[in-house]
Amino acid sequence: LKDGDPVELLEGRLFRKMTKNQRHVKAFRHLRRLLELFLSNPYHLNSQDPLSLSTSEPEPDLTIFRETPEFPIERHPKPEDIALVIEVSDSTLVFDRNDKLRLYAADRLVHYWIVNLIDNQVEWYSDPTGGVPETASYRQRVVYPLGSTLVFPLDGQELRVMVDEKLIPIE
C-alpha cells in the first residue's frame, strides 16, 4: 500500500474503495452542495473522511458532525460527535446495507442514510441497537422514493431534501 491508496479500515481489515461512476459523482455533488448551504456552526460536513469507531475507521461519503470547543482538531469525529452519516450507493449497495450498517449501528450512530442509486430511493435508518457489530442493526427503516421529500431535524431546524433527479440522476 502507498499513502493515499483508496482503502478504508473495517474491523481490522483493509477494503479497497470502489471507483465512482458518473451517477454516483452527480448524486454526491448535489447532496454535498445542499448540506453545505444548510449547515452552520457548530455543525460541519466531512466528505469521504474517516470516522473513529470502536472497531473501524470507515470513510463514508458524507458525515454531518458537531464540533465543540472540546473537539480536538487532530482527531476524526467519533460516534458522539456524529449527527448523520450518508453513503451514496450503487455497486456497494449490499455492502452498505449489511457491513457498513452493522458497524454504524454497533457504535450507535443515530441516523444513517443510503442514497440508493439502484432502486432510486433514499433509505433512512435510525434507532440503532448498539452492541457487537455481528448482530447490531437499526430498529427503524424508512424508504423515500423518487418524488418524496425527506425532512431531517437538526437542533430546531429542518433540512428538506427532495428525492428527485438531482439527487438520484436517471441514466
pLDDT in tens, 63-87: 999 876 666 566 678 888 899 999 9
Amino acid at 110: V
Q: Residue 157's pLDDT band (boundaries 50, 70, 90)?
A: confident
161 contacts 152 by C-beta, under 8 angstroms: yes
Listed in order, strand segments (DSSP E) in 53-117 are 56-57, 62-66, 82-89, 111-116
Q: Residue 5's pLDDT band (boundaries 50, 70, 90)?
A: low
pLDDT(7) > 70: no
The per-residue pLDDT for range 16-36, each reduced to its tens digit, is 766 677 898 999 999 999 999
pLDDT computed for residue 126 by the predictor? 98
Residues in the chain: 171
Q: β-strands 43-47, 82-89: how paired?
A: unpaired
pLDDT(14) > 70: no
65 contacts 43 by C-beta, under 8 angstroms: yes
59 contacts 85 by C-beta, under 8 angstroms: no
Q: Residue 11's pLDDT band (boundaries 50, 70, 90)?
A: low
**For residue 96, what is its C-alpha cell?**
452498505
Mean of all residue pLDDT scores within the chain: 88
- State the sign of the Cα–Cα–Cα–Cα dihedral 171, 45, 144, 129: positive
pLDDT(107) > 90: yes
**For residue 129, what is its C-alpha cell?**
441497537
pLDDT computed for residue 87 by the predictor? 96
Element (DSSP H or E) covering residue 15: strand 13-16
Dist CA 83 CA 35 (whole Å): 13
pTM attached to this predicted model? 0.87
